[in-house]
């Protein structure tokens, strides 16, 4: 009974959070919004709105002409921590076809678009097998096309994690052929034909378990006003921001941030940021 009550309370809190989401981002919410989002009755929707109004009377007022609740002048969220990254990620997910608008809490879509990325041809069955190998500590025999080899080769690998480099998904795995931990692009796995228990120890993947902190700051060649806006753009404090990254993903991180080359080869306006603690890269393989 206690678990059931907790589920009920969680459902109510989600709906109250939804009310705040719509009030904060769109400025209004009504019974129909709740009914469409949660499949509840009109009576339940009214109850939820009245419950919220009782808990935060200054957060919304009823607009009789529009027949909807609108955000109050003294709005202060109780259940929701407004997060721009979360809102914008929902827009990106809609653009990428991962979810539909109905699967998000966004009621009014702004006019928007995203820079398209090439679709990665990851086979669903191959991904499932890789995930099973991760969960069950299995080695799998894969046909893999490396760009260092003119033709695909069959090899045994023992995946223990997957990772996203900002553009592509990789399997982090022990390679029985090369006798080391390395990355395998999921889209380049062309076939899987066998599996077996693995004695490869993921704890021995030092690059995966080692974290390096990168400190970035505005390019010194920028004006003071430009430095301030770059600092704001990257969430910097006191002229720098810290980024913790696994050593195994360091190459991809530096490349994505444009820190993999000498910053003097690009104009300050193009480079924008520099690595302040470049000494952390010394001696890294």
* Whole-number CA gyration radius for the chain: 25
Q: pLDDT at position 285, please?
A: 57
Q: pLDDT at position 111, please?
A: 94
Q: pLDDT tens, 237-274?
A: 999 999 999 999 999 999 999 998 888 889 999 999 99
Mapped onto helix, strand or coil, the DSSP state of residue 120 is coil
DSSP assignment of 124-149, as one string? HHHHHHHHHHHHHTEEEEEEE--TTS
Q: pLDDT at position 179, please?
A: 97
Per-residue pLDDT tens digits of the chain, which is 285 residues long: 344 344 446 789 999 999 999 999 999 999 999 999 999 999 999 999 999 999 999 999 999 999 999 999 999 999 989 999 999 999 999 998 889 999 999 999 999 998 877 777 899 999 999 999 999 999 999 999 998 889 999 999 999 999 999 889 999 999 999 999 999 999 999 999 999 999 999 999 999 999 999 999 999 999 999 999 999 999 999 999 999 999 999 999 999 999 988 888 899 999 999 999 999 998 775
Q: pLDDT tens, 94-116?
A: 998 889 999 999 999 999 998 87
């Amino acid at each position: 009974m206690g678990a059931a009550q907790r589920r009920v309370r969680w459902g109510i809190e989600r709906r109250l959070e939804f009310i705040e989401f719509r009030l904060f981002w769109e400025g209004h919410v009504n019974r129909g919004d709740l009914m469409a989002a949660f499949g509840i009755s009109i009576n339940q929707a009214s109850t939820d709105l009245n419950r919220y109004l009782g808990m935060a009377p200054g957060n919304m007022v009823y607009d009789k002409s529009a027949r909807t609740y609108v955000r109050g002048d003294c709005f202060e969220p109780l259940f929701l921590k407004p997060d721009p990254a979360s809102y914008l990620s929902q827009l990106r997910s809609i653009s990428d076809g991962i979810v539909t608008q109905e699967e998000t809490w966004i009621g009014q879509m702004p006019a928007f678009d995203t820079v398209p990325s090439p679709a990665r041809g990851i086979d669903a069955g191959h991904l499932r097998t890789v995930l099973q190998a991760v969960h069950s500590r299995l080695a799998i025999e894969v046909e893999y096309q490396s760009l260092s080899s003119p033709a695909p080769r069959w090899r045994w690998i023992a995946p223990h994690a997957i990772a996203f480099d900002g553009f592509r998904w990789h399997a982090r795995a022990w390679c029985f052929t090369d006798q080391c931990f390395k990355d395998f692009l999921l889209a380049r796995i062309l076939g899987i034909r066998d599996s077996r228990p693995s004695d490869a120890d993921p704890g021995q993947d030092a690059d995966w378990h080692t974290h390096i902190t990168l400190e970035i700051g505005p390019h010194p060649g920028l004006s003071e006003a430009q430095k301030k806006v770059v600092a704001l753009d990257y969430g910097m404090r006191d002229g720098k921001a810290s980024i913790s990254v696994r050593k195994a993903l360091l190459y991809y991180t530096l490349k994505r941030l444009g820190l993999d080359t000498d910053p003097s080869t690009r104009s300050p306006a193009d480079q924008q940021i520099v690595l302040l603690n470049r000494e952390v890269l010394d001696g890294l393989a």
